[in-house]
Amino acid sequence: MSTTPAPSTPTPTSTGSSPRRALVVGASRGLGLVLVDELTRRGWHVVATARETRGDLRELAGAREGRLTLETLEMTSADELAALRERLAGTRLDLLFVNAAIDRGDLPISEVPTEMFTEVMVTNALSPLRTLEALRELVVPGGTVAVMSSDQGSISLNTEGGYELYKASKAALNQLMRSYATRYADDGLTKLLIDPGHNRTRLGGPGAPLDPRESVPAVVDVLEAEAEAGAEAGAGAGAPGLRFLDRHGEPVPW
């Protein structure tokens, strides 16, 4: 895999000369791997999780000279989440980003086995919110919590058939994230759902129109711009409410 995205302006620090720090959950391949690559290229220090820290992610860690730390995590395991929280005690994050998701094909909902429905909903909707709950206190005042969503989760944009289970899981994720944002409305953190577009990854398929090496740097531009907007709103204020944005920073219809 190439790890040389299109150039953009590095913004490596959050306060003074301290590097910005991020935790990316689900970084073994695809969008998560390119996201980690782009953040570290810009000077961020990143902790990246995967079920197995090997392959391209391990190679990237070796090339980033201490800016990338790897942790193993099965996100659907409450015990593993608690163990990760203990290992990261004392770590202060500017960004907590949950990326992991799965797809189990294009079946009409009447043909989806119960076990498949449960697996996709637990992975795509329940586990990202459990992850935020477990790790949110590591994020500094004025920091950002973000989850990779999709315009496939937009109810108003669901005007074409197909991929009913995946769409439902992303709509459930969006609704749970809305509840999370309401519950923690006054915690001083910026809260984002990000639609990266349809990318050529294992999940998106080889025929997808977007190259992650072009779309992910745009996503990072959005993350940094939203963080700066929160900082301008006041020390530790964060941007108010929850925003569902595409890779250009434009709102996605709910």
Instruction: Encode pLDDT of 12-54 as tens digits.
Output: 444 446 899 999 999 998 999 999 999 999 999 999 999 998 8
38 located within any domain: yes
Is 4 within a domain? no
37 or 227: which carries more pLDDT confidence?
Answer: 37
Residue 47: phi, psi to the nearest 5? -100, 125
* Planar angle of CA 248, 58, 21, nearest 5 degrees: 50
Predicted local confidence at residue 57, as pLDDT: 94
Strand partners, 71: 49
Residue 146 belongs to what H/E stretch?
strand 139-148
Distance CA 254, CA 252 (A): 6
Structural domain includes residue 254: no
- More confident of the two residues 19 and 138: 138
* pLDDT, tens only, 179-220: 999 999 999 999 999 999 886 666 666 766 678 888 999 999
Q: Residue 218: inside a domain, yes or no?
A: yes
237 or 134: which carries more pLDDT confidence? 134
Boundaries of domain holding 236: 13-246
Q: Is residue 82 part of a domain?
A: yes
Cα 225 to Cα 185: distance, rounded to the nearest angstrom: 20
Q: Give the chain's domain count.
A: 1
- Tokens 């990143």 locate to 46
Question: Residue 96's domain is classified under what CATH number?
Answer: 3.40.50.720
Q: Give the model's pLDDT for residue 13.
A: 45
What's the pLDDT score for residue 5? 39
Say how far apart CA 68 and CA 20 lie, in whole Å: 12
- CA–CA distance from 165 to each of 102, 117, 169 (Å)? 11, 7, 6
For residue 37, the Cα-to-chain-centroid distance in whole angstroms is 14
pTM, two decimals, is 0.89
Which residue has tokens 């577009």?
A: 197
Check pLDDT > 50 for residue 97. yes
Average confidence (pLDDT) over 117-142: 97
In Å, the largest CA–CA distance within the chain is 56
In a domain, 8, yes or no: no
Using CA of residue 24, residue 20, residue 145, residue 37, what is the dihedral sign? negative
In a domain, 195, yes or no: yes
